[in-house]
Amino acid sequence: MMRATDFEFRNRWWFFGGIFWIGFSLFGVDHVPVGARIADTLAADAHWPETVALHVVFGAGAGVMLVAALVRTWGSAYLGRKVVHDEALHGEDLRADGPYRHVRNPLYLGNVLMSVAMGLIAPMVGCAVMIVGILVFTYRLIGREEATLEAEQGERYRVFMRAVPRLWPSIRPRIPAGGDSPDWISGLSAEAFFWSFALGLIAFAVSPNILWLFAGLALSPLLSWLAGLALAKRKTP
């Protein structure tokens, strides 16, 4: 698969957002979310009340989103907010601790899990666009990053690549712990926008009101900005 260009990497958040926007815009073609279709089938087959089936389906989606947020936060705690949000590609350092002992790209794994969770709220075609689009773009970005890391780290990174899976994690760690300590405050700050999505989806699953989801999406830039300010204040002597 072709690697992402510098332009794609610098603007990766806009590309991710655009894929989700396209998926949701397909409500103009199909007005029924995938989750609602699954809930209808579940209610008919299991003889559950429709409301219970909706809670179960969207609760499962919220659970996937929660896992995505946790995985990304774990990875960001080892990278730091500056690296996670930087437009520049960093190949000067190799992170091989925490989640990186199980999977080389935990942050991108979180993005893929997010596409599955958010896909439940999209129409059938939109769900497919989200999942396939995020997967394709993710692999393009990974190809770009890994080429840079291999060029700068050489054999050290090639050993890491041979030991640790690229995107689909190993349950057991594939390399010894490196002794790095996570900075959980920085990790949470880096992923504030992601947690806003997750909390909105959890609230939507508890009370199937789409306004909760919209609130989580709308507040994510503000929460991320406030988290960045709080982190900067913490580092100010």
What is the rounded average pLDDT for all residues in the chain?
88
pLDDT of residue 36: 92
Mean pLDDT of 32-47: 91
pLDDT of residue 19: 96
Give the CA-trace dihedral at 193, 197, 200, 206, to 10 degrees.
Answer: -140
Is residue 114 within 8 A of residue 197, CB to CB? The reply is yes
pLDDT digit string, tens, across residues 191-214: 988 899 899 899 988 887 778 878
* Distance (Å) of CA 225 to CA 11, 98, 118, 183, 220: 18, 26, 23, 18, 9
- The CATH architecture one would assign to domain 6-184 is Up-down Bundle (1.20)
CA distance 81 to 85: 6
> Could you tell me which residue, 165 or 232, shows the higher pLDDT?
165
All structural domains of the chain with their residue ranges = 6-184
What is the per-residue DSSP string for 86-135?
A: -SS---S----SGGGGT-S-HHHHHHHHHHHHHHTTSBHHHHHHHHHHHH
* Distance (Å) of CA 25 to CA 57, 131, 191, 234: 22, 15, 25, 40
